[in-house]
Structure 1
Amino acid sequence: MRLGVNAALVHDRIVEGDVAVEGGLIEGVGLSPAGRTGLAVPGFIDVQINGFDGVDFTTADADDYTRVAGCLASTGVTTFQPTLITLPVPDYFGALGRLRSTSITNARILGMHLEGPFLSPVRSGAHDPRNTLSPDPKLTRRFLDAGPVTYMTIAPELPGALDLIEMLVAEGVTVALGHTDADAPTANAAFDRGARSVTHIFGAQRPWRHRDPGISGAALVRDDVFITAIVDGVHLAPEAVKLAANAAGVRFVLITDAISAAGRPDGRYLLGDRTVILDHGACRLENGTLAGSVLTMDQAVRNMIDLGFDPLRAVAAATSAPAELVRRPDLGSLEPGTAADVCVLDDSYQVIRTIVGGIESFAL
């Protein structure tokens, strides 16, 4: 099947010509004759999203996942990783069990991101600090047995955290550091043990200082650590985005951290067991603490472009970078033989078509 596009983003260059898909895979790029319009890019990947359109993944069932995937398709997302904040322990098992029994066709679900409960109570952010726990290998094993845990955020300064990181890495789980008061030496020890990324850079973590750079300083100067960021114009000042993106280079990963309020009007919504107020684009607890976002991935890409980044660089932060972070070489690329997950953009970088596994999931 030809897509009818006039160009495609392949690695870091534009290839003129059409794209063909067959059997759920990219069959060819740069084909003649080219289509009339549209730039094909890899489908967007969101490794941190808590919910969308009234759905919170803490309580989501298969129908909810299908509905969310349909909403995300309109934003170019073909792969996402549902995320659970710090919750009462029984809530994790229910959510993991429901995800394990869920099968959808209009998006790929990487597995579950547990953003808790092994986080610092002094850097809990919007999470309820009463739900935070010290790292517990036996409880972690129960989580892994309950459902598809693919990613976990941990505070490395907690007792037993470094050993737990090694355990998770051995199980194939991507480990991120976040909601942490760790200093730079502790962060580096965790990265040396296999932690691979930082969760929402600069947010809910020890602040950077010139003699105490903390986790952000440690991560930004390493070439083996990915930096995830919420580029919504609320969580980070433009200078902070530029600092992180310029330092991280190809390791810079866009996330939405969207909650159930995304796609909905102002009002009160749930984030796990927390009530969040959406008001004029910002999600906050009643005490004013930021609590996720209503950002979409296509808007995050456009926000990077508006900050002066090359459009191809912005697209890479939503495609090839997250694919490399989660070690999925079959995703985030339009090389022949990779998954036929495609987002087609117009000249304004608006999404006009989304394809998952060679099957159209959205079109204007």
Structure 2
Amino acid sequence: MNYYIKADQFLLENEENTADYLCVENGRFGTFVETVPPDAKVMDWSGFTIAPGLFDTHIHGLKGSDVMDGDPDGIQAMSEVLLSLGVTRFLPTTLTSDKEALDRALISVVEAVEKGLSGAQSEGIFLEGPYFTEKHKGAQNPDYFRDPSRQEFDHWQELAGNMIVKIALAPERAGSEEFIRYVSSTGVLASIAHTDASHDCCILAVDAGARNYVHLFNGMSGLHHREPGVAGAALTDKRAFAELICDGYHVHPDIAKLALHVKDDKLVLITDCMQAGLMPDGDYHLGEFPVVMQGGVARTETGSLAGSTLKLIDGVKNLHVWSDKSLAEVWHRGSLSPAVSLGRDADLGSIKAGKLADYVVLNKDLEVQTTAVAGEIKYEKEG
């Protein structure tokens, strides 16, 4: 369906357009025009803002579903719910577990995608683990930690039909540099996570091809003026992206503001959301771990943060309030930066001619009214 969009403003990469009509042709954004043909179909969202669809590259679960359940219906449910949150693309994310559980999780994502997701679309799978170290394990199970294995990864990639596009590991583990070189050569985004590596070890990992740090400041050695650690390497190395969870619990607002200032367009907003997202306080699981959520904060029995219950759009709103950056700039940290990190920015991440027409209609309170995927309206808020 071809049509035009009229709105009060459009959040573009480097500006805000407030006057013209935006053409949508064959599921992709066209150009802005001042007038439209008399018989043209116009989506008139006067009074609203049009923003690019958000892209959550790190999400374990939502509203009772968990990727590690190994249930294709759970992936479908996540896909549908994400639309109401302004997310049009996501990476179903695994946890460290035994081989059988990881096999099931990968197969379930493949089955769901092959059947066809009705909501937000999966752009691949994020394999978080199992190649971590114990000191900063977070909610990852150390019983399954081990050195990276190319053979094991190849098995999982074959099982996933080459859908694994991102993998996280601790670079101090034996064989990590060689492993990073290998997966990077296949187009997979090698990421650094749950690690006590030194600054120099991280730089060597980036030299080998790692280009992302997972949930900055969490699951990693902190910043010290004589040993910058993983956090210091993530902040100072301009070659690498860094993920950030902007819920106010994982990272202090002033540190989030600092990260945005330093990393700029290499900052990727994520949720790390688990199954308790959009659910009431109570008892849940993150993989094999029992989790208690109180006041919207999920923790393991030992008190460690267990993922988050954050909505990505709330992370955008939080960082916009905490920083001195425009809404458009901060919004693109949740849409364009994720796409760039995965090499998908030719099609995704911003409102630009030729890209897939993923967009969100926002009211003045930045609440999602409508969400479209590849030009097709998939969600409309009731009332």
Give the alignment's TM-score, normalised by structure 2: 0.92
Change (3 A) 1:302 1:256: same
Preserved CA contact (<8 Å) 1:121 1:130: no
Distance (Å, rounded) in 2 between the aligned partners of 1:112 and 1:270: 20
Is it true that 1:172 corresponds to 2:187 in the alignment?
Answer: yes
Distance (Å, rounded) in 1 between the aligned partners of 2:280 and 2:316: 22
Is it true that 1:72 corresponds to 2:82 in the alignment?
Answer: yes
1:259 aligned partner: 274
Preserved CA contact (<8 Å) 2:8 2:48: yes
1:337 aligned partner: 354
Structure 1 stretches of at least 4 aligned residues deviating more than 4 Å after TM superposition = none
SS of alignment partner, residue 372 of structure 2: strand
Distance (Å, rounded) in 2 between the aligned partners of 1:223 and 1:52: 32
Residue 341 of structure 1: how far off its partner (Å): 0.4
Is it true that 1:347 corresponds to 2:364 in the alignment?
Answer: yes
Distance (Å, rounded) in 2 between the aligned partners of 1:352 and 1:31: 25
1:156 aligned partner: 171
Q: Identify which of 106, 109, 118 aligns with 1:99.
A: 109
Residue 65 of structure 1: how far off its partner (Å): 2.0
* Amino acid of the structure 2 residue aligned with 1:153: A
CA RMSD of aligned residues (A): 1.4
Is it true that 1:358 corresponds to 2:375 in the alignment?
Answer: yes
For each residue in 1:300-343, what CA deviation from the matched residue of structure 2 results, as whole angstroms up to 9, or x when unmatched? 11111121332122101111111101110210011111001001
Preserved CA contact (<8 Å) 2:81 2:119: no
Change (3 A) 1:312 1:96: same
SS of alignment partner, residue 16 of structure 2: strand
* Amino acid of the structure 2 residue aligned with 1:290: L
SS of alignment partner, residue 5 of structure 1: strand
Q: Identify which of 6, 26, 51 aligns with 1:41.
A: 51
For each residue in 1:113-140, what CA deviation from the matched residue of structure 2 results, as whole angstroms up to 9, or x when unmatched? 1110001122211111112111111111
* Amino acid of the structure 2 residue aligned with 1:315: W
Preserved CA contact (<8 Å) 1:122 1:129: no
SS of alignment partner, residue 4 of structure 1: strand
2:41 aligned partner: none
2:39 aligned partner: none
Larger displacement relative to structure 2 (261-270 or 5-14): 5-14
* Amino acid of the structure 2 residue aligned with 1:74: S
Is it true that 1:243 corresponds to 2:258 in the alignment?
Answer: yes
2:10 aligned partner: 8
Give the alignment's TM-score, normalised by structure 1: 0.97
Q: Identify which of 277, 285, 289 aligns with 1:270.
A: 285
- Counterparts of residues 188-207 of structure 1 (less than 5 Å): 188-207=203-222
Distance (Å, rounded) in 2 between the aligned partners of 1:158 and 1:239: 32
Larger displacement relative to structure 2 (329-338 or 99-108): 99-108
Larger displacement relative to structure 2 (285-294 or 340-349): 340-349
Percent sequence identity is 30
For each residue in 1:269-295, what CA deviation from the matched residue of structure 2 results, as whole angstroms up to 9, or x when unmatched? 121111111110111001111001110
Preserved CA contact (<8 Å) 1:56 1:259: yes
Distance (Å, rounded) in 1 between the aligned partners of 2:290 and 2:21: 47
SS of alignment partner, residue 80 of structure 1: strand
Distance (Å, rounded) in 2 between the aligned partners of 1:30 and 1:179: 49
Is it true that 1:25 corresponds to 2:35 in the alignment?
Answer: no
Is it true that 1:214 corresponds to 2:217 in the alignment?
Answer: no
Residue 42 of structure 1: how far off its partner (Å): 0.9
SS of alignment partner, residue 5 of structure 2: coil
For each residue in 1:149-196, what CA deviation from the matched residue of structure 2 results, as whole angstroms up to 9, or x when unmatched? 110011001000110001111111111101001101100000011101
Number of aligned residues: 364
Q: Which runs of 5+ in 2 are unaligned?
A: 37-43
Q: Which runs of 5+ in 1 are unaligned?
A: none
2:327 aligned partner: 311
